[in-house]
Amino acid sequence: MNGIKILFKEKLSRFYALFLIFLIPVLIIANSLWRINVYQNNMNQELTNKTQIVAAILSSSISDISTNIDTLQQKLVSIKQANKEIDEINFLRSSDVGFSIANSTNSENQGVIISDADLAKINTSGQPLVRSYVDKSQKPQKRFWLAANPVKSADGSTMGILTVRINTDEIDAISRTTITQSLVLLVFTVFIVFLLLINYFRFFEYFVNFRKIQQLDKMKDEFISMVSHEVKTPLATVKGYLDMMFQGLIGKYDENTRQHLQKISANINRLDILVSELLDVSRLEQERMQFDMQPADASKVIANVINEIGDQAKNKGLTLEHNVPKQLPPVFVDPDRLHQVVENLVGNAIKYTPSGKISIDYVLDKGDLKISVKDTGIGMSVEDSKRLFERFYRIKNEKTTDISGTGLGLWISKTIANHMNGDIVFESKENVGSKFTLILPFIKE
């Protein structure tokens, strides 16, 4: 059931991501087109107002001379010449058959009879009219704004109708340029957004896969923790019986049997170390490892480590030096975890040093106590140094073939040191030796 829910959530999340990929560009396009339409409507309204104002001003300016045909003609021509945006001006008078053009800036229009319901409406109501139209007779076709305004006498009667045709070429060109630029910007924006959404979808897939990996990693940690706990108990039992046999509590046995038992004990100890390290890895990754932080004398903790594993160095003929200064400030650590870290560092030094010596020294540097474990062992190459603190990484060459280990000890030690507000650094040279330094802040008096 949980698997079905997870699958449903994943499908829903992917559908949501795809929905966004299409929805957001569509919304951007719709919003841009709506704004372009609003812009065009505003421009048309401005042109309407401008044309109406021009027609009203012209009508009032010619009302006194409308009866004088020659004077009116000169007036209309001079107005057109002074205003490039005015394409044509006509003065119409009412007749029995419609409206005749009495005066016009276009000589071809004079005397032309026009029968138009809108003109008749203006003549009777006295209300002006403004509209746009496209002159299809011109090539290419042009758009104009036409204002028809009644010309009234002093007593208020309508003497005729003045029509003014405004050329909108320049304004339309500006509008087309603006709209074209807006559309180009829109296409570019949609393209960028589309790319971002595709990347988002890819990152979303990565996120889903990352969550799956996290879940698998958690299951792996839980499995390792469970198996390690289950293995720990029988290991302890086997070690207990081996100790009883070594002590002669179960019965006597010959030297050959003792040698076999010692081999069994060594392998049991190796397996116990492996299980313990796996448990530590699981606890550290799941933040379940407990730290009992308290002031401690690092030299005493390290002395205990030397007492426990010092025989290993003696058996290999190594000199193990512990150089403790007279005055050493305490450090705030978990003594058991400090013991574990130092045991790992010293144990590694013993394992990887065929001959020579191992020295443990202390240096106070500002607010830190630096505990160094230096050996004259096989050292390591620069390439091996880069991956030294990775989990399960072990240096593999002819010199390390017979050296056992899991590749977890240094990772565990460094992680524990970090949890105690410290760190582990190292320097190494192949065939010369290595120096590992545990850095811990000391308590200032």
- Structure-model confidence comparison of residues 191 and 375, the more confident one: 375
Nearest to 26 by CA among 217, 235, 194, 199: 194
Asked whether residue 322 falls in the same domain as residue 186, the answer is: no
Average pLDDT over residues 148-170: 79
Count of Cβ atoms closer than 10 Å to residue 129 Cβ: 18
Asked whether residue 162 falls in the same domain as residue 187, the answer is: no
Q: Please confirm whether the linkage preceding 140 is cis (ω < 30° from 0).
A: yes
Asked whether residue 64 falls in the same domain as residue 204, the answer is: no
Q: Write down the residue that tokens 């320049």 correspond to.
A: 170
Write the DSSP string, 426-439: EEEETTTEEEEEEE
Residue 187, pLDDT > 50, answer yes
Asked whether residue 6 falls in the same domain as residue 92, the answer is: yes
Asked whether residue 392 falls in the same domain as residue 301, the answer is: yes
> What is residue 331's three-state secondary structure?
strand
Domain region containing 434: 291-441
Q: Between the ranges 6-20, 210-224, 259-273, 326-340, where is the mean pLDDT highest?
A: 326-340
Nearest to 373 by CA among 385, 359, 362: 359
Asked whether residue 297 falls in the same domain as residue 408, the answer is: yes
Average pLDDT over residues 421-426: 94
CATH number at residue 202: 1.10.287.130
Asked whether residue 35 falls in the same domain as residue 51, the answer is: yes
The helix (H) or strand (E) run that includes residue 225 is helix 169-246
Q: How confident is the model at residue 2 (pLDDT cuts 50, 70, 90)?
A: very low
Task: Give 277's contacts (C-beta < 8 A, 6+ positions apart).
Answer: 406, 408, 409, 412
Query: What pLDDT digit, counting tens, does each position of 223-273 carry?
Result: 766 766 677 777 778 878 788 887 777 777 778 887 888 888 877 777 777
- Structure-model confidence comparison of residues 319 and 191, the more confident one: 319
Question: What is the structure's pLDDT at 10?
Answer: 57
Do the Cβ atoms of 421 and 441 come closer than 8 Å? yes
Q: How confident is the model at residue 20 (pLDDT cuts 50, 70, 90)?
A: low
Q: How confident is the model at residue 63 (pLDDT cuts 50, 70, 90)?
A: low
DSSP state of 345: H
Asked whether residue 303 falls in the same domain as residue 425, the answer is: yes
Domain end point (choices 138, 167, 196): 167
Asked whether residue 159 falls in the same domain as residue 16, the answer is: yes
| Domain count along the chain | 3
Asked whether residue 264 falls in the same domain as residue 369, the answer is: no
Domain end point (choices 284, 308, 340): 284
Residue 365, pLDDT > 60, answer yes
Domain end point (choices 284, 315, 333): 284
Average pLDDT over residues 96-103: 82
Task: Give 175's contacts (C-beta < 8 A, 6+ positions apart).
Answer: 39, 40, 43
Average pLDDT, the chain: 81
- For β-strands 357-365 and 331-333, DSSP reports them as unpaired
Asked whether residue 314 falls in the same domain as residue 272, the answer is: no
CATH number at residue 16: 3.30.450.20
CATH number at residue 342: 3.30.565.10
Beta bridge partners of 363: 370
Q: How confident is the model at residue 34 (pLDDT cuts 50, 70, 90)?
A: confident
Asked whether residue 211 falls in the same domain as residue 163, the answer is: no
pTM higher than the cut 0.85: no
Q: Write down the residue that tokens 């559908």 correspond to.
A: 15
> What is residue 165's three-state secondary structure?
strand
Question: What is the structure's pLDDT at 14?
Answer: 62
Query: What pLDDT digit, counting tens, does each position of 308-332 carry?
Result: 999 999 999 999 999 999 889 999 9
